[in-house]
Amino acid sequence: MSHELRTPLNSSLILAKLLQQNRTGNLTEEQVRYAETIHASNSDLLVLINDILDLSKVEAGQVNVELETVSLDATLQSLEELFRPMAGAKHLNLVFDRLPGAPDSIVSDGQRVTQILRNLLSNAVKFTERGEVALSVAPADDDMLRIDVRDSGIGIASDKLDMIFEAFQQADGSTSRQYGGSGLGLSISREFARLLGGRITVASEVGKGSVFTLWLPLDARATLAAGGESAAAVSPDVRTCGGHERRYGQRIARSRIVGRGGAGGHHARQRFDDDNTCSSGGGACSAAQPAGAPEVGSAAIADDRDNRTRAGRLIIAVEDDLAFAEILRDLVHELDFDFVHASNAASGLALVRDMRPAAVLLDVGLPDRSGLTVLEWLKNDLLTRHIPIHIVSATDHADKALHLGAIGYTLKPTARSTMEAAIRRLEARLQQRLKRVLVIEDDAPMRESIRALLQSENTEIVAVATLSEALQHLEKLSFDCVVTDLALPDGTGYDLLERLAANAEHAALPVIVYTGRMLSDEEEHRLRRYSKSIIIKGAKSPGRLLDEVTLFLHSVESSLAPEQQRMLRTVRQRDNAFEGRTILLAEDDVRNIFALSHVIEPLGARLQITRNGREALDALENGPEVDLILMDIMMPEMDGLTAMGEIRRNPRFAHLPIIALTAKAMANDRLRCLEAGADDYVSKPIDVDKLVALCRVWLRQR
């Protein structure tokens, strides 16, 4: 039933989400609201399905208890963050309190405890129109903990106090009832409480509110052992990434079972990539994806964040060496800029987004992640993409940094005069109102097309047909970017790149190779030694060219013409991690195939479709090289578990990433998938953002 209920819901959620995002910009605001309503309704249906399945599992004795040390303060904090906006919308006072004598933590199943309290608080907020909702934690006798959820809502009649714990029942159960809901929350909560060795009681009076009390043992191990229940052991090696727990010992053991990777299976299969991205559960927790602004850390050294005096002249330095940061501060002040300091990537990223400085000085070796990752994030963010960034680092990653859009690169240790020159170049760039681009193209119609594509109020295009003309202009004028074809009447693009590289004045000049022929691996490798970007002419290439040029010109996108902005929105639907990759999808449901193809292919990947495990094996053996497999579990002829086992038996595919797609139809689905050979696991209905993030993690490791 899990599979049958979730499968049609999967495609509905994915397609509604795509419509809601309106990436092509062709839907009206009203149509977007329709899509939002469809997605919200399907999400409500998913909650109902999950509740029914939870109740069924409890009644069938199929719910596993995973005991761990549960921090009460952390649990209350997460609940308060969740319910504070809901209470605020109804103008309710929300109170959380851990009373004196209450312990800091208990031993229980944290997920189940949170789910119980979430259900109780949700009901309290829903049935309270004015007044207060309060949660208090207090010690009780017999090694028990007492948690009261109190509200000033409508209350419950005494003759209905028992009924509310029955499935699909509410105190207001008439056909014209005012409050929605399935009536499953309390039933599930009561069963979960029993499972944890506790209970739920209620006291209420109509018109005066209710008090639901959750009683839990301080240590569920003794209670469950005495009651004959089996408790799952908690791995001692538990780490946290973005709030998700990740049990290394279990993952290593599974890697050993499927026989991949060295060092206990934690070699090529480690689940943290170079950018500190982790995947967790059926989705992705992306520490490397800046989904929300991190908290801004306090300044490690005194700076000007609270005392800015120079309008439009702010430089932010992201530097963990405090002594060097103080040197930068003094130098920046001498050059008449305000200075703000961040000592790590997270606070630096948040400061840049919040304060929008005139320029950024960025270290690479930061304590929490690479400065190159911060550079990539800032250059992929429309709000910060135009800000000039100069890299200052003890390691040489100049080519990578310049390719990502840095304006310059300085190696530590560096002379004060060198840093002064770098900051003056940043200042010159800020004062430069007109940007100049050199276009070298011998085909006259193409040359004029590129001119029209790149021309704007703030950009001057100098277009020439030959290498000799280009060199003459380079001697007379300064340029911010060069766009060149490879084949020229009097030379080649390679000749131009070699001359520029040999000239110190032009060595850091961004050059974009815009060519109409396919390049061999050797040619591309040779070009990469010189060119910041290589673009192959094609149907989508004008948009990519515009995107690259605006990056290297540090252009503010809102200043571009509407048509140029539209082209940039279109090209940015694609994702570098997916570009040119082949993803094999093994899925038998045509609705899911349709939905997933509309998620994956716009990102730049080619999706190869197979309808069962047997077809997937044939496609791997006889088709093009595959970079990633999305494997459904329940398929005809050969299921996903069997297919993954066959794939892993072939040495050619020992390190090919596989993400299992399952409807959570069976117990221990995740463990069974990992033991069969999957690298990760996504449950249906599929969260599009989580799937894309997870695919990005594994594609980058290829």
| Cβ proximity of 308 and 355 under 8 Å | no
Task: Give helix 467-476 / helix 493-502 axis angle, nearest 10°.
Answer: 30
Q: If DSSP codes are grouped into helix, strand and coil, which group holds residue 154?
A: coil
Segment of 40-44, 185-189, 355-359, 391-395 carrying the highest mean pLDDT: 355-359
Question: Could you give the count of Cα atoms lying within 13 Å of 157 in the half-sphere of its Cβ?
Answer: 7
The mean pLDDT value for 342-371 works out to 86
Q: What is the pLDDT of residue 441?
A: 87
Query: How buried is 614 (Cβ within 10 angstroms: 0-12 exposed, 13-18 middle, 19+ buried)?
Result: middle
For position 298, what pLDDT does the model report? 42
- Whole-number pLDDT of residue 448: 85
Backbone torsions φ then ψ of 78, nearest 5 degrees: -65, -40
pLDDT digits (tens, 9 = 90+) for 506-525: 766 778 887 766 667 777 77
**Residue 369: pLDDT band with limits 50, 70, 90:** confident
User: What percentage of the chain has pLDDT greater than the value 70?
Assistant: 74
Least confident of 154-163, 190-199, 201-210, 327-336: 154-163
Buried b (16+ CB within 10 A) or exposed e, 318-343: bbbeeebbbbbbebbeeeebbbbbbb
pLDDT band at 659 (very low <50, low <70, confident <90, very high): very high
Q: Which residues pair with 683 in a beta bridge?
A: 662
pLDDT on residue 318: 92
DSSP per residue over 74-143, as a string? HHHHHHHHHHHHHHHHTT-EEEEEE-TT--SEEEE-HHHHHHHHHHHHHHHHHT-SSSEEEEEEEEETTT
User: What backbone torsions phi and psi does residue 579 show, to the nearest 5 degrees?
Assistant: -55, 120
Cβ-proximal residues to 514 (8 Å cutoff; 6+ apart), any chain: 441, 450, 483, 484, 485, 535, 537, 541, 545
pLDDT tens digits, residue range 107-160?
A: 998 888 988 998 899 889 988 989 999 999 998 877 889 999 999 998 888 877
350: amino acid identity, one letter: A
Q: How crowded is residue 112: how many other Cβ atoms within 10 Å of its Cβ?
A: 23
Q: The tokens of 400 are what?
A: 């990578």
- Chain CA centroid to CA 659, Å: 17
For residue 558, what pLDDT band results from cuts at 50, 70 and 90?
A: low
Q: Which residue has the higher pLDDT, 153 or 257?
A: 153
- Whole-number Å distance between alpha carbons of 321 and 413: 12
CA distance 673 to 682: 10
Q: How far apart are the first and last CA of the chain?
A: 36
Chain segment 273-303, per-residue pLDDT in tens:
333 333 333 333 333 344 333 334 444 688 8
In this prediction, residues 268-272 reach a mean pLDDT of 30
423-480, pLDDT tens digit by residue? 887 887 776 667 788 898 888 888 888 887 777 777 888 889 898 898 888 888 888 7
Q: What's the confidence (pLDDT) of residue 562?
A: 67
The structure's pTM equals 0.42
Under 8 Å between Cβ of 344 and 287:
no
User: Which pLDDT belongs to residue 66?
Assistant: 79
The dihedral over CA atoms of 672, 674, 675, 677, expressed in degrees to the nearest 10, equals: 120
Spatial CA neighbour of 685 closest among 652, 662, 656:
662
pLDDT tens by residue, 69-103: 888 988 898 888 888 888 888 889 999 998 888 89
Distances (CA, A) of 251 to 259, 270, 678, 683: 12, 9, 11, 18
